[in-house]
């Protein structure tokens, strides 16, 4: 079974600084997708960024970028120029050929003004 | 279409009672998913539908749980004889499914705000 591990239960960062959230996963598949979802205190999950495993280029969405290391099965999220609105739970998720998401336990990100 | 809607947002019930949650997905999405999320944990997969067909059920979905999507549109999740361990947030999500994945490269799920269940 696929597993997703987020080893940082909590992280904090000063506003305008950069923070990196870690994620590792375990799979025997070669073709899959990885996602980062954000869950603000209102608790609705929002997609932040996605990465297709067959693409070597790391995905980027404005201030959000990933470092995808397929051999190491690592998928970290970098948030640049952190803003107060970035405060939330961040979940790493894996989507294999069965097309259901397997989530990690999440990282709570606090932004310090 | 304003996204995925879930009702009720919060349900408080006594142990042993039955509860039902409803999810209205994005209208053009043919896949619908149910997840359960307990405090401090990530969402855990329960079941999903493609149109009206229930394609997979997790082992987490005991006999007391049943989900339906009778016309391939909205879905209901019923929990019979609730237990305190059922207290959780129940999340619904929808997606365009396989055809959308092939076209856009990923099966992106859109989540609702969730239905919080408290069993006393």
Average pLDDT over every residue of A61-69:
96
Nearest C-alpha in A relative to B91: A44
Partner residue opposite B107 with nearest CB, options A6, A44, A95: A95
- Find residues 47-106 of chain A whose CB sits inside 8 Å of chain B: 47, 50, 52, 91, 95, 98-106
The pLDDT tens digits for A19-62 are 999 999 999 888 899 999 999 987 789 999 999 998 889 999 99
The 3 state secondary structure assigned to chain A is CCEEECCCCEEEEECCCCEEECCEEECCCCCCEEEEEEECCCCCCEEEEEEECCCCCCCEECCEEEEEECCCCEEEEEECCCCHHHCEEEEEEEECCCCCEEECCCEEEEEEC
Which residue in B109, B114, B116 has the most chain A C-beta atoms within 10 A of its own C-beta, making it the best mutation to test that interface? Answer: B109
Q: For position B106, what pLDDT does the model report?
A: 74
The pLDDT tens digits for B63-97 are 999 999 998 899 999 999 999 999 999 999 999 87
Q: For position B105, what pLDDT does the model report?
A: 67
Average predicted confidence (pLDDT) for chain A: 93
């Amino acid at each position: 079974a696929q597993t997703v591990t987020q080893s940082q239960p909590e992280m904090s960062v000063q506003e305008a600084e950069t923070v990196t959230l870690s994620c590792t996963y375990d799979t025997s598949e070669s073709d899959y997708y990885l996602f980062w979802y954000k869950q603000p205190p209102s608790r609705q999950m929002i997609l932040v960024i996605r990465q297709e495993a067959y693409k070597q280029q790391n995905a980027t969405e404005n201030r959000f970028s990933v470092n995808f290391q397929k051999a190491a099965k690592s998928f970290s999220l970098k948030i640049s120029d952190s803003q107060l609105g970035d405060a939330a739970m961040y979940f790493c998720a894996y989507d294999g050929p069965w097309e259901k998401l397997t989530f990690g336990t999440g990282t709570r990100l606090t932004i310090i003004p | 279409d304003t996204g995925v809607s879930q009702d009720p947002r919060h349900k408080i019930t006594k142990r042993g009672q039955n509860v039902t949650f409803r999810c209205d997905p994005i209208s053009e999405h043919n896949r619908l998913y149910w997840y359960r999320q307990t405090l401090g944990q990530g969402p855990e997969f329960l079941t999903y539908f493609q149109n009206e067909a229930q394609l997979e059920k997790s082992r987490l979905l005991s006999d007391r749980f049943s989900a339906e999507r009778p016309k391939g549109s909205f879905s209901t999740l019923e929990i019979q004889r609730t237990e305190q361990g059922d207290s959780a947030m129940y999340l619904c999500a929808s997606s365009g499914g396989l055809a959308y994945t092939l076209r856009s490269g990923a099966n992106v799920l859109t989540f609702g705000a969730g239905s919080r269940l408290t069993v006393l």
